[in-house]
Amino acid sequence: MRLRSCFLLLAAPVLLAQTRIEYSEQKKVWLLHTDSSAYALGVNPRGELETLYWGGPVWRIADIAGATGGRGQSSFDPAQSNIREEFPGWGGTRYLEPSVKITRANGQRELVLHYSAHAITGDDLKIVMKDLSDDIFVTLNYHVYGAEGIIRKSAVLLNKSKQEIHVESMQSGTWSVPHGEGYRLSYVTGRWAAESQLTREAIHTGTKVLESRKGHTSHNFNPWFAIDDGSASEETGRVWFGALGWSGNWRIAVEQTPYSQVRVTGGLNTFDFAQPLKPGESLESPPFYGGYAADGFGGMSRRMHRFELTDILPHGLQSRLRPVLYNSWEATTFAVDEPGQRALAEKAAKLGVELFVMDDGWFGKRNNDKAGLGDWTVNPQKFPNGLEPLAKYVNSLGMDFGLWVEPEMINPDSDLYRAHPDWAMHSGDRPRSELRNQLVLNMARNDVKEYIFTVLDKLATQYPIRYFKWDMNRPFAEPGWENVAEPKELWIRYTKNVYEIMDRLRAKHPQLEIESCSGGGGRIDLGILQRVDEVWTSDNTEAFDRLGIQYGFSQIYAPKIMSAWVTDVPNMNGRSTPLKYRFLVAMQGALGVGSNLNKFSAADEKLATEMIAAYKSIRPTVQEGNLYRLLSPQQGEVTANEYVARDGGQAVLFAFLHSQQYQRPAPAIRLAGLDARATYRVQILGLMGTMDYSGAYLMENGITVRLSGDYDSSALILTRL
């Protein structure tokens, strides 16, 4: 593998101007620049790659000291324990989390990677590392998203030796924050119907593992971390952060070494992982994206959001604003039929809904969750004339038509299972564990993948389907795979095949949009988001609970991606909040309605129509603007979020009161992200009249938002004059 010398590339001034990557041949140092951060790495005298800098912008490569290789402190504390290795193979005197670990057919296990070559092309840097004895290579790929402030790392392991190797760990890379202690880790944890609970804790010596062993991204942790200097707040302080683009088993190990170094290694989960590589074969890690913010957790989130909107979502900045959606699930559950859906569609259209999605129950013998998954043919009792009349009717009402599918699953009570019992994931003739009465299809098999692609392609071809809600309602169990050399390959092949189906569907049906759902927020990550347009945030649509879930979600993911519905009360946990409160909570993302519209009163219809119209007037600001989390639902009685349009012309403040104590005064909420010198016209949503204030006053003094009683809420729309 010979790469063009970087020196030649850098010698051409035109190319130099085009790249955000500098190289010093003399020091063997690379310096990667984004608008708001810099990252440096270099080769030490032993040929190892060291992280040298990660933080705010620095412009002088001469400032970056070359990699020294460190020095051992005792026979128990070798040099490699003290340096920030960029991508250590497991071998030599290494005891920290490795980035890659292998076993050769002959039993030898060490992999000691030394710099071999590199190339800079535009904003891409490739560094090739080679084992000190064998022709086993790792190519590290870096891409700089300059304006967004993000750097992508990924790695490709290539076996050019003469023997097969078994990969036991393949990570995407290691991020090391500046040497020292006193850092805090932020991550989200949760469970079904309580995803994205933001957690912040001190980092101590030892390793904390965030991971999924469930086959999908999972509700329990999300593949994201943020490390702050110990005192960062929403708008101040230093935050280093990263997120993986992988929807299968993933792992992020946050390690504080006894040598006061915090390092984060992430990639494919090592649990039950094995990947054989014959001579000539290679394995690529998922991408690991990282960034730095000097402006606190808010600055971190705004960078992530901008990055997702620009570089991750399938059509990037060209993707349309998310339409207002209606979904029938909570209204009808499995009891869908043509007359019932037509009636709901008529009502939804009158409210201003733009996308009508029929959820579970339309196919096979699907009258409850005990049967039908796998049989993706229209149920003739419920839809005697197929789906076409309904879909066309929905279109005639001016709405797009969307359909729920759960392609990766199979009920034992289905024609598909009766025909192909071996397609369900299982371990020989051992018992198969059902969850929600269903088994997981072994999507790692190419015949299963082709079958599912054909089924979905047929639906998308036959009917005017604009949108699939793609669900996945249980994790893996008994992930066996018979008659293959390495059954453990199932874990990654499954995810790759799901990606492939989505990619092929989108290529063949360019108008098609996909929502990623996995019993709510079980599959949300930067891998699936390259293939879907939005995600189902949580099956918990209770508005007060949602404030907390959306708070955690917003740390990482943009409001445009966050599907949020208004549903009926009392909701799943028995709480009843006013319809206005439910709307304002849901209007902070991609607004949807999931209520039983047949039960809406005239007053409900009026309010819903007004709210949807108002939402459309602030939609670009909410979905694509800058988010400022002013008051957290984790503290105090009032939650407040502000969205500022990209061009600064509009801002929207949402405020929610949990429950007021007698005579407690209404809070003054200090806004952010405005132009201090500009004047803003402020209107309270739903009220006549306006007031004018300067940006300076709104940010310094704040504005008093009248909230009283329980579950009161308000939205203020600010227009820059």
CA dihedral 571, 575, 580, 585 (to 10 degrees): -80
Output the smallest distance, CB 327 to ligand GLA, in A: 7
Output the smallest distance, CB 300 to ligand GLA, in A: 28
Q: Which is nearer to ligand GLA, 437 or 719 (CB)?
A: 437
Do 618 and 686 touch, CB atoms closer than 8 A?
Answer: no
CA distance 432 to 466: 36
Do 245 and 287 touch, CB atoms closer than 8 A?
Answer: yes
Output the smallest distance, CB 521 to ligand GLA, in A: 9
Q: Which is nearer to ligand GLA, 400 or 471 (CB)?
A: 471
Nearest to 59 by CA among 43, 42, 40: 40
Q: Which is nearer to ligand GLA, 150 or 566 (CB)?
A: 566
* E strands in 132-249: 136-145, 150-159, 165-176, 184-191, 194-202, 206-211, 224-228, 239-244
DSSP class of 424: B
Other C-beta atoms lying within 10 Å of the C-beta of residue 14: 6
DSSP 301-367: HHHHHHHIIIIISTTGGGSPPPPPEEE-HHHHTT---HHHHHHHHHHHHHHT--EEEE-S-SBTT-S
Do 660 and 638 touch, CB atoms closer than 8 A?
Answer: no
Output the smallest distance, CB 611 to ligand GLA, in A: 22
CA distance 234 to 631: 9
Output the smallest distance, CB 423 to ligand GLA, in A: 21
Cis preceding-peptide flag for 258 (omega within 30 of 0)? no
Q: Which is nearer to ligand GLA, 520 or 633 (CB)?
A: 520
Q: Which is nearer to ligand GLA, 70 or 589 (CB)?
A: 589
Do 357 and 325 touch, CB atoms closer than 8 A?
Answer: yes
Do 713 and 674 touch, CB atoms closer than 8 A?
Answer: no
Instruction: Give, for 610, the enclosing helix (H) or strand (E).
Output: helix 602-624
User: Residue 454's beta-bridge partner residues?
Assistant: none
Q: How many residues appear in the chain?
A: 721
Output the smallest distance, CB 37 to ligand GLA, in A: 37
Nearest to 294 by CA among 305, 286, 302: 302
Q: Which is nearer to ligand GLA, 363 or 476 (CB)?
A: 363
DSSP class of 710: B
Output the smallest distance, CB 518 to ligand GLA, in A: 7
Output the smallest distance, CB 141 to ligand GLA, in A: 35
Note the residues at the interface with ligand GLA (CB under 6 A).
329, 359-360, 404, 471, 473, 517, 519-520, 536, 539
Output the smallest distance, CB 474 to ligand GLA, in A: 10
Q: Which is nearer to ligand GLA, 110 or 369 (CB)?
A: 369
Catalytic member of 375, 525, 539, 568: 539
CA distance 480 to 486: 10
Catalytic member of 295, 375, 471, 568: 471
Other C-beta atoms lying within 10 Å of the C-beta of residue 35: 12
Output the smallest distance, CB 33 to ligand GLA, in A: 42
Q: Indicate the residue whose CB is closest to ligand GLA.
A: 360
Output the smallest distance, CB 715 to ligand GLA, in A: 26
CA distance 410 to 417: 7
Q: Which is nearer to ligand GLA, 97 or 471 (CB)?
A: 471
Q: Which is nearer to ligand GLA, 241 or 404 (CB)?
A: 404
Active site residue 135: no
User: Residue 682's beta-bridge partner residues?
Assistant: 691, 718
Phi–psi pair at 186, nearest 5 degrees: -115, 140
Active site residue 712: no
* E strands in 559-708: 562-566, 590-593, 626-631, 638-644, 650-657, 668-669, 679-684, 691-694, 703-704
Q: Which is nearer to ligand GLA, 365 or 670 (CB)?
A: 365
Read off the tokens for 592. 């949807």
Q: Look-up: residue for tokens 């004047």? A: 679
Q: Which is nearer to ligand GLA, 82 or 571 (CB)?
A: 571
Catalytic residues: 471, 539
